[in-house]
Amino acid sequence: MTFENILVNKEDGLAIVTINRPKKLNALNKSTIRELHIAFKDLEANKSVKTIVLTGSGDKAFVAGADISEFAHFNESEGADLARKGQEDLFNLVENLATPVIAAVNGFALGGGLELAMSCHFRVASDNAKMGLPEVSLGVIPGYGGTQRLPQLIGKGKAMELIMTAEMIYADKALDYGLVNYVVTQEELLPLCYKLAGKIINNSSVAIAAAIKAINAGFSTTGYQVEIDTFGACFATEDFKEGTSAFLEKRKANFPKT
């Protein structure tokens, strides 16, 4: 299949999926999410593919975030549907994929971009990578699993801090927090991912799929549904209207104080 927003290459048991929207810093829109869904389903069904590396094109961004312009006008039910469909079609799909997925975080991974990286089985970052969940600055919360996966990876306290401050952290701090497994230079990023993939490929795909299922079972909660519901509820607020308008107008948000 020919894709417009992603590239898929396969060689010797390894597939490389590249989000290819460099002019938009690889931001996730509906079309890109749909293409990623198709690609991951196809790769999982392909028994010759033993490991997948997911990255972004260029050297500036893995995924800079979601395309805010696509949902700034949504109401509460549309917001909840956005989160639910995104989680089902892509983020939960990647997390539970029987084929291991390594995120090669090659720059900005913000909002939906960090949520996508966190849904991968583990992460390797370049030393210029910057990560964060800035959604509260838009009057909304992370809606693609961020409120669940970030605490699982770095602990409740640090996750609370990062989400509530909307702070963006550098790769070295992400490594300290346990958000990424390794930090290397841009030039070393993909080679290290390929080396790790090679180690995985040598092992039993059946056992690895079972391990993924068993490990994920330990984190199974109702929290994702709560996130969907509260994400949608944010769309009915004046804060969301102000936050998204300010973002699109490239100005600082002035949230109501009451």
Q: Positive or negative CA dihedral for 63, 65, 68, 70?
A: positive
Q: Which of 44, 115, 187, 188 is catalytic?
A: 115
Do 213 and 220 form a contact (C-beta atoms < 8 A)?
no
SS3 per-residue string spanning 72-123: CCCCHHHHHHHHHHHHHHHHHHHHCCCCCEEEEECCEEECHHHHHHHHCCEE
Rounded-to-integer distance, Cα 40 and Cα 19, Å: 12
Distance CA 23, CA 19 (A): 11
Is 115 a catalytic site residue? yes
Q: What is the biggest distance separating any 2 CA atoms in the chain, rounded to whole angstroms?
A: 59
Q: Of 135, 161, 167, 242, which residue is the catalytic one?
A: 135
DSSP letters for 161-218: HHHHHT-EEEHHHHHHHTS-SEEE-HHHHHHHHHHHHHHHHTS-HHHHHHHHHHHHHT
Q: Which residues are catalytic?
A: 115, 135
